[in-house]
Amino acid sequence: MSSEPPVVNPLRGIRVSLFLMAAVAVGAALWFGKQLFLPIVLAVLLTLLLTPAVDFAERFWMPRWLGSLIVVVALLAGAAAAATQLAAPAQQWLNPKSTEFRKLESRIRELLAPLSDLQGAQERMAGVADGDGAGSRKREVVVERAGSLSVLRSAQPLMAGVVSTVVLLYFLLASGDLFLRKLIRVLPTLEDKKRAVGIARTIQVEIGRYFLTIATINVGLAVVTAGVLTALGMPSAVFWGVLVGLLNFVPYAGPGASLVLLTAGALISMDDWVSISAVPLSYFVLTLIEGQFLQPLLVGRRLRLNVVVTFLSIVFWGWLWGLGGIIVAVPILVVLKICADHVETEPMNAIGELVSQ
């Protein structure tokens, strides 16, 4: 008794092929259009964060264009003031040519002295066995200094991206719900218009609330970290607090980088091992409280993301867009999660189930 072969649907293979081709095309477009798409994504995310401030100014009969201008100017002024105040500590602690960095190198050499002695003994034994005097060869080191013109030329893409982001941010804030009104006009029925308005309003409110909550948590972490480091006697505690708050916007990699930098700073500025170990241990406790208790309480477990998907998203966007991609990776996931919770379609439900914890 022969069994019939399974029936293969040719349309399914065509759909899969078209989907793979579209994914490759989108990935290539994002890769080659990084300087175009990254400012757009950053401007949209900043718009979601700053729209409540513009709406608040509009309630006091201030024209929206003026409120948007004030918010953008205040943002730029705050960023410039922070950069001015933190430039000197950053030059002191993060510059590889600074005195503190040389102290760190000497401290690390002290810690690795036993291992270096063992390695040197092995190299001397290898030299005796070879007997060819290869270790006495001189090496020439050529140091090339980059001129100011090359530095300016390399900074041009960054400046262009910043200007594009700021200009687009202002126009998005000033336009308000212009795109929503355009969408409502093209929808055919009154029921579709009402559903679109409800979904758009809910998504905008929840996304803005999420980003504002995360920003508030990171500011609080920066303040508490600065206070704890001041109590422990760590120099430039305000700088370290601001650095921790900024890096905390990048999940996983940000707190890890903060822990490494704080440990290096403690090795430089502290004398005894009790004080040195107190700095990273205190920061670890603070991040543990923030990540495991405070953030789930304020953000809500409904918006918590799948850890594996979040990590893969950071790796993907970091590979695609570098540091800017690492910054926008989690906000993009949050936007997808909120949209999937409010748009009742089969593809969006699948995305929401995949992204959620």
How many CB atoms neighbour CB 110 within 10 A? 11
Burial environment of residue 42 by CB neighbours within 10 A (0 to 12, 13 to 18, 19 or more): buried
One domain for residues 247 and 315: no
One domain for residues 59 and 101: yes
One domain for residues 261 and 306: no
Distance from chain centroid for Cα 181: 32
Domain that holds residue 356: 301-357
SS3 content of the chain, % helix, strand, coil (to 5): 85, 0, 15
One domain for residues 267 and 305: no
Q: Which of 176, 203, 227 is the last residue of a domain?
A: 176
One domain for residues 235 and 306: no
Q: What is the Cα–Cα distance from 278 to 291, expressed in whole angstroms?
A: 20
One domain for residues 294 and 306: no
One domain for residues 163 and 217: no
In a domain, 28, yes or no: no
The tens-digit pLDDT sequence of the chain (357 residues) is: 555 555 555 666 677 677 778 778 877 887 887 888 888 888 888 887 788 888 888 888 888 888 889 999 999 998 888 888 777 777 766 666 667 666 666 666 666 666 555 565 566 665 555 555 444 454 555 545 555 555 556 667 778 888 888 999 898 888 877 776 776 777 777 777 777 777 777 777 777 777 788 888 999 999 999 999 999 888 888 889 988 998 888 777 788 888 988 888 888 887 778 888 899 999 999 999 988 888 777 776 656 777 788 888 888 888 888 878 888 888 888 778 877 777 777 777 777 777 777
One domain for residues 285 and 329: no
User: How is residue 248 annotated by DSSP?
Assistant: T
Burial environment of residue 190 by CB neighbours within 10 A (0 to 12, 13 to 18, 19 or more): exposed
- Select from 247, 236, 230, 343 the least CA-distant residue to 287: 247
Q: What is the pLDDT of residue 136?
A: 47
One domain for residues 68 and 168: yes
One domain for residues 231 and 166: no
Burial environment of residue 212 by CB neighbours within 10 A (0 to 12, 13 to 18, 19 or more): middle
Residue 82 parent element (H or E): helix 64-94
Q: What is the Cα–Cα distance from 327 to 63, expressed in whole angstroms?
A: 32
One domain for residues 84 and 172: yes
Q: Which of 299, 321, 349 is the last residue of a domain?
A: 299
User: How is residue 328 annotated by DSSP?
Assistant: H
In the chain the first and final C-alpha atoms are separated, in Å, by 49
Count up the domains in the chain and report the number.
3
